[in-house]
Chains A and B, each alone.
Chain A
């Protein structure tokens, strides 16, 4: 398998009539055909939908019309984004067979940009997890080593891009669910500023933290996709009605004169090989003209605890609607309470139940102030901590995940240990800030390491500039070699 062609190049060629979208698509369908059995990146490959979109794109080009900035580029969607009349399951039994009657705003924007919707990717059930093992439809495997997890919860999207199934994918990031799998799969993954990408049609996990963002094999491709999906949406009350940073055009601006802070709290808990890679990235930034210094934001150490109070609290409410009345699974019973209970008990997996109960508990009378409200106050402190750091740093640098990809099954029975793998990504969600994970060579085990760049609200332009410099300095990472049946 050869290194995938960048999406930017594909779109340029298709728009110029130098390449047919149908050919681009068939190439990727062939790659999927060869590798999907060992990876299980998809819940559904939407072959016919993508083929029809490809024909439309080709017809538009033939007629002299511009199909848009993603013309002919296959994009994989995490299976928690609503696609009209295409199953959307959140990798949960409770939504099995559900056909949404509407498209998410990001889906509409992708369609309008000429993208080919190639499939719905596997994920942790309702995005609750860090390994994609909580999917009701089986785990996704890491293309770099199929005995390892791809990370999560957007593990299917990360694996799809890493495996060359699609040059681009969308994920959602509530506590690291884009960046952590991006790091573990050796691709670029980015969580935008809260409110930059519309959540309309994104099945909610924790509404005040969820953001949709891009996966790509390069910083430039991630920028291309971010520019398409970002921007104000009147259907989302939390969408920011202000100019969205356009990032693709500023990628080559460099880091000369910038200050980069190495976030010491993130380095403290990370594995030595991961720390070494982050330091190497810092050196590259210094070489490129940035001032690099160590920065401490002590408040971030409270992030994990606060997150596991806030996110389950919101989730317990967001997931109440799966009651067997209007859509999805129903398990019949004598009365409505029994039917709700039977449906939810059969339809949700263990991790989802765990978080619903945790969230119900922290919101319940008597505990609300000690847990949920206290966590919201911690959130204020974390924002204050970051604000102090950004008073003298343009961006912060640290690992995305404390380790490289862990083995399948390693942490499934130990929720707390699993939760700890998000320790470096959670603070950005609590603050609403953007952050990006850039692959930076292999760790000691040969598996990908991701370095994370964090910035203040709406600093996407700066982040992408720095990410481009980091990417250029990154040591080579072996391209995944997938052989059919390897996982069996």
Chain B
């Protein structure tokens, strides 16, 4: 498998937006260089021919872990809401939402 093209400033700006992070111009510069270095190092992995090798997402092969459908005690609402930055009417308050969920 061929390694993808080198990471660009635009790529970093795009992932920062996806990850809800604001970067200054200087930060954008620095992070682009640092992340590109790490990805260059990862080229050894990206360029390997691993056709037919199954991916391992879980190191230990376990299946069918289930719980019975029985209610457990819930958290105390006051304790939960006391941790929230902003609360109104027993709900978590957030600023205007600009659009529907994607």
Whether the complex brings A and B within 8 Å at their CB atoms is answered: yes
> Interface on A for B, CB 8 Å cutoff?
98-99, 101-102, 193-195, 208, 234, 237-238, 240-241, 302, 304-306, 308-309, 316, 320, 323-330, 332-342, 344-345, 348, 353-354, 356-358, 360-361, 364, 366-367, 369-371, 373-381, 383, 415-416, 419, 430-433, 457
A326: chain B residues at CB < 8 Å are 83-84, 92
B54: chain A residues at CB < 8 Å are 377, 380
Nearest B residue to A236 via CB reads B65
B23: chain A residues at CB < 8 Å are 345
What does DSSP make chain A's interface, helix, strand, loop or mixed? helix
A330: chain B residues at CB < 8 Å are 85-86
B22: chain A residues at CB < 8 Å are 341-342, 345
Contact A361 B95 (CB under 8 A): no
Contact B20 A357 (CB under 8 A): no
B83: chain A residues at CB < 8 Å are 98-99, 101, 326-328
Contact A377 B11 (CB under 8 A): no
Q: List, sorted by A's number, 10 A–B pairs whose CB atoms are closer than 8 Å.
A: A99-B82, A353-B21, A354-B31, A357-B19, A364-B14, A367-B4, A377-B48, A378-B48, A379-B55, A415-B34
Contact B60 A240 (CB under 8 A): yes
**A304–B38 Cα gap in the complex (Å)?**
10
Contact A194 B59 (CB under 8 A): yes
**A59–B99 Cα gap in the complex (Å)?**
59
Please tell me the size bucket of the interface on B.
Answer: 35 or more
A416: chain B residues at CB < 8 Å are 34, 37-38, 41
What does DSSP make chain B's interface, helix, strand, loop or mixed? loop
Chain B proximity of A467: nearest CB distance (Å):
22
Q: Return the CB mask of B21-64 against A: 1 if under 8 Å, else 0.
A: 11100000001001101110111111010100111111110100
Contact B45 A415 (CB under 8 A): no
B20: chain A residues at CB < 8 Å are 323, 337, 340-341, 344
- Please judge, given known A-B contacts A238-B60, A383-B59, whether A361 and B15 are in contact too, CB under 8 Å: yes
Nearest B residue to A337 via CB reads B98
Contact A101 B95 (CB under 8 A): no
- Please judge, given known A-B contacts A238-B62, A341-B22, A416-B37, whether A306 and B45 are in contact too, CB under 8 Å: yes
B82: chain A residues at CB < 8 Å are 99
Chain A proximity of B26: nearest CB distance (Å):
12
B69 interfacial by beta-carbon distance below 8 Å: no
Contact A374 B46 (CB under 8 A): yes
Specify which of A238, A316, A337 is in contact with B58 (CB 8 Å cutoff): A238
Specify which of A101, A241, A325, A341 is in contact with B92 (CB 8 Å cutoff): A325
Chain A proximity of B90: nearest CB distance (Å):
13
Contact A380 B98 (CB under 8 A): no
Contact A373 B55 (CB under 8 A): yes
Contact A302 B48 (CB under 8 A): yes
**A376–B50 Cα gap in the complex (Å)?**
10
Nearest B residue to A382 via CB reads B56
Chain B proximity of A136: nearest CB distance (Å):
16
Chain B proximity of A240: nearest CB distance (Å):
6
Contact B58 A415 (CB under 8 A): no
**A259–B13 Cα gap in the complex (Å)?**
52
B65: chain A residues at CB < 8 Å are 237-238, 241
Contact B38 A415 (CB under 8 A): yes
**A374–B76 Cα gap in the complex (Å)?**
44
- Please judge, given known A-B contacts A98-B83, A305-B45, A378-B50, whether A360 and B38 are in contact too, CB under 8 Å: no
Which residues of chain B (73-102) have a CB below 8 Å from chain A?
75-76, 79-80, 82-86, 92, 94-98
Contact B19 A380 (CB under 8 A): no
Specify which of B12, B57, B60, B94 is in contact with A339 (CB 8 Å cutoff): B94
**A383–B55 Cα gap in the complex (Å)?**
11
Which of B2, B38, B65 is the most central at the interface, judged by chain A CB atoms within 10 Å of its CB? B38
**A112–B32 Cα gap in the complex (Å)?**
48
B14: chain A residues at CB < 8 Å are 364
Contact A370 B4 (CB under 8 A): yes
8 additional contacts (CB under 8 A) given A353-B31, A380-B53: A101-B75, A305-B41, A305-B45, A357-B15, A357-B31, A364-B18, A375-B42, A432-B59
Nearest A residue to B46 via CB reads A370
B62: chain A residues at CB < 8 Å are 195, 237-238, 240-241
A340: chain B residues at CB < 8 Å are 20
- Please judge, given known A-B contacts A237-B65, A339-B95, whether A377 and B16 are in contact too, CB under 8 Å: no
Chain A proximity of B24: nearest CB distance (Å):
10
Nearest B residue to A369 via CB reads B1
Contact A457 B60 (CB under 8 A): yes
A356: chain B residues at CB < 8 Å are 19, 21
Chain B proximity of A200: nearest CB distance (Å):
13
Nearest B residue to A309 via CB reads B42
**A195–B61 Cα gap in the complex (Å)?**
10
A339: chain B residues at CB < 8 Å are 94-95
Top 8 A-B pairs ranked by shortest CB distance? Answer: A432-B59, A376-B55, A330-B85, A377-B50, A360-B15, A305-B45, A379-B56, A327-B83
- Please judge, given known A-B contacts A354-B35, A360-B15, A378-B50, whether A338 and B21 are in contact too, CB under 8 Å: no
